């Protein structure tokens, strides 16, 4: 047995490992005695896998940079949230974009953090589409956004749906009950 080596559980993490400093700063995480830590919210670039995916809506609701169907350019956050609808064409486009990242065809320096799937209609997905979603979930974190009728009408003033609490935590958006 080696001495001086710290023993403990080993785990694999999906995503960045924190250093104790707030994201985007070199400052310590502690705000000092009696003060909560100050944390800078991580910024994301929303990239649509296809036209009408909902990247602009999600950027407006959750914050971040809307790239449309382009990769983030200079000055845009390199952390990418890929957006697709849950219809057959949308899921196929998401799989193509994932393959582009896997092959290294995406611009250097980008980090694909997750895929965000936006419901294309209210209700449950048909089985063939649900199977496509499982293929995506097998390779990357997936956040699901339910059908929001108000968004269809252009009303983005309400809080994000409760079902998107994990996505709201990731992006730093506030979720109150819908």
Question: 3-state SS string over 19-63?
Answer: CCCCCCCCCCCCCCCCCCCCCCCCCCEEEECCCCCCHHHHHHHHC
Average pLDDT over residues 138-165: 94
Instruction: Give the pLDDT of residue 159.
Output: 87
Q: What angle do CA 114, 117, 123 make, to 5 degrees?
A: 150
Over the stretch 44-73, which tens digit does the pLDDT of each residue have? 999 999 999 999 999 999 999 999 999 999
* Mean of all residue pLDDT scores within the chain: 81
Over the stretch 103-125, which tens digit does the pLDDT of each residue have? 999 999 999 999 999 999 999 99
pLDDT higher than 70, residue 153:
yes
Domain ranges of the chain: 45-171
């Amino acid at each position: 047995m080696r001495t001086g080596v710290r023993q403990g559980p080993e785990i694999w993490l999906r995503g960045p490992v924190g250093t104790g400093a707030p994201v985007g700063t070199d400052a310590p995480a502690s705000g000092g005695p009696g003060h909560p830590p100050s944390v800078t919210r991580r910024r994301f670039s929303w990239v649509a896998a296809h036209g009408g995916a909902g990247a602009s809506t999600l950027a407006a609701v959750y914050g971040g940079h809307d790239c449309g169907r382009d990769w983030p350019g200079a000055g845009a956050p390199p952390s990418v949230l890929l957006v697709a609808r849950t219809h057959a064409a949308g899921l196929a486009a998401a799989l193509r974009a994932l393959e582009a990242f896997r092959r290294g065809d995406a611009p250097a320096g980008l980090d694909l953090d997750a895929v965000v799937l936006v419901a294309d209609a209210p209700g449950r997905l048909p089985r063939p589409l649900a199977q496509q979603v499982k293929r995506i979930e097998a390779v990357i974190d997936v956040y699901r956004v339910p059908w929001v009728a108000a968004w269809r009408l252009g009303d983005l003033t309400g809080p994000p749906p409760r079902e998107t609490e994990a996505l709201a935590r990731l992006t730093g958006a506030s979720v109150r009950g819908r």
